[in-house]
Each structure stands twice: as C-alpha cells, then as structure tokens.
Structure 1
Amino acid sequence: MPAWRESQAGLLLCVRLTPRGGRDGLDGIETLADGREVLKVRVRAAPSDGQANAALVALLAKLMGLPRSRVMLVAGASARLKSVPLEGDSATLLARLEAFLAAG
C-alpha cells in the first residue's frame, strides 16, 4: 500500500514521524514489515506536549504551500505512525510531494 492516497478533500499521507531528529525534513519512503509504505519525516521538536505533532503539521503545510488549517493530524497523535490529510487539489499536492522526494 503506498504512503499516500487521493481523497475527496486532497491527499491522505501515512507518516512515520521521528521527533528530535536533528532537523526538519522529509527522509523518503520506508516499507514496513507488513508491506505498507510510510513517508518518513523528522522534526527537531521533542515529542512532549504535542510539540512534534505541531512541528509535523507546520512542516507539511510549509512544504505543500498550504495554510496550517488545511493540514491536520487525524490518527496517531501519540504514536510514530500518523495519518495526515492535506486539503487541496490532489494533483498539485502529489506533484509537490513527489518533487520534494525526488530532490532527496
């Protein structure tokens, strides 16, 4: 299963978040033991008090050119694996995401 899928509102990302990662950024795609793919993201923020989740939302909003209100965390608030929907045109969002991943 890919790390993202199109939805009615835009794009739904499956993310594996690494808090205290030394920098904020995308680290590519990882395949989990069960065969699912996840988008690897690292943030400098600590996992306490939701700081890492807030940093994830801010990073994705910035990279995708979206206001923060269009990026939400809907599952996995206290887990490494998270579901994050991005509201907007799915083709535009997918093109931006693939460009960031290709740039490495």
Structure 2
Amino acid sequence: MSLFYQWQAEDLVLTCHLQPKASKDEFAGEHGEAIKIRIKAAPIEGKANAALIAFLAKQFGVSKRDIEVISGELNRHKRVRVSQPKKIPEALAAVLLMNENPL
C-alpha cells in the first residue's frame, strides 16, 4: 500500500516531494513515502508553491482555491489537501482508485 496519500472524508491529502526548476510539470513516481512532483518554477518568492497549486488543480479538476498546502510551505517535502477532487490524474489512478474512496 502506498503511503503518500490519505482520504479524509471526501478530501485527498497528498504527501509530496517537490522538485523545482524541472523541465516540465509532472508526477514522477514515488519518492520514499511521498509522491514526487516536478515543477518548472523556481523556489523563489512562492513561485514553486503557486505552480504546484495550479498543476494539482488542473490534474484533479478543481479550482486553485480547492488546493491547500497544509505543511512544508518552505520545504520540498509538503502535505497538500485537495478538496473534493473531481477526477483522478491518470498517473495516480492505479494507486488511488484501488483504495476505499474511488470517484
């Protein structure tokens, strides 16, 4: 069982390992007990966090206000809440949909 996510009612909490200044925005597999996410933005003045929020909002079919960095704001290792995701990204579907809260 993967430990990088947890369902809390209808919200999804992800433990993420962020790699800023990547060549493209993408999920990049698991990194220990976190999901690795590559983001093009540099970790300067909150740009990487803003890009992460925009990327996750698009991937889960929600607005940016439905994504919240709940810990690790200034760290590569973060916990992020996705409020009531509308879809599951193809890159995570196999792992997330086999558990207790499929969409």
Equivalenced residue count is 93
Q: Are the structure 2 counterparts of residues 14 and 62 from structure 1 closer, same or farther at C-alpha, using a change threshold of 3 Å? A: same
Query: How many Å separate the matches in 2 of 1:75 and 1:38?
Result: 13
Identify which of 68, 76, 101 aligns with 2:92.
Answer: 101
Q: CA RMSD in A?
A: 1.9
Mapping of residues 24-63 of structure 1, within 5 Å: 24-31=25-32, 37-63=33-59
Query: How many Å separate the matches in 2 of 1:101 and 1:27?
Result: 10
Query: How many Å separate the matches in 2 of 1:43 and 1:56?
Result: 7
Deviation at 1:101, TM superposition (A): 3.3
| 2:67 maps to 1:71 | yes
**TM-score normalised to the size of structure 1?**
0.81
**TM-score normalised to the size of structure 2?**
0.82
Deviation at 1:10, TM superposition (A): 0.8
Q: Are the structure 2 counterparts of residues 86 and 47 from structure 1 closer, same or farther at C-alpha, using a change threshold of 3 Å? A: same
> Which portions of structure 1, spanning 4 or more consecutive aligned residues, are displaced by more than 4 angstroms?
none
Query: How many Å separate the matches in 1 of 2:49 and 2:74?
Result: 9
Cα contact 1:30–1:40 (8 A) shared by 2 = yes
Higher relative contact order (CA 8 A, sep 6+): 1
Q: Which residue of the partner structure matches residue 16 of structure 1?
A: 17
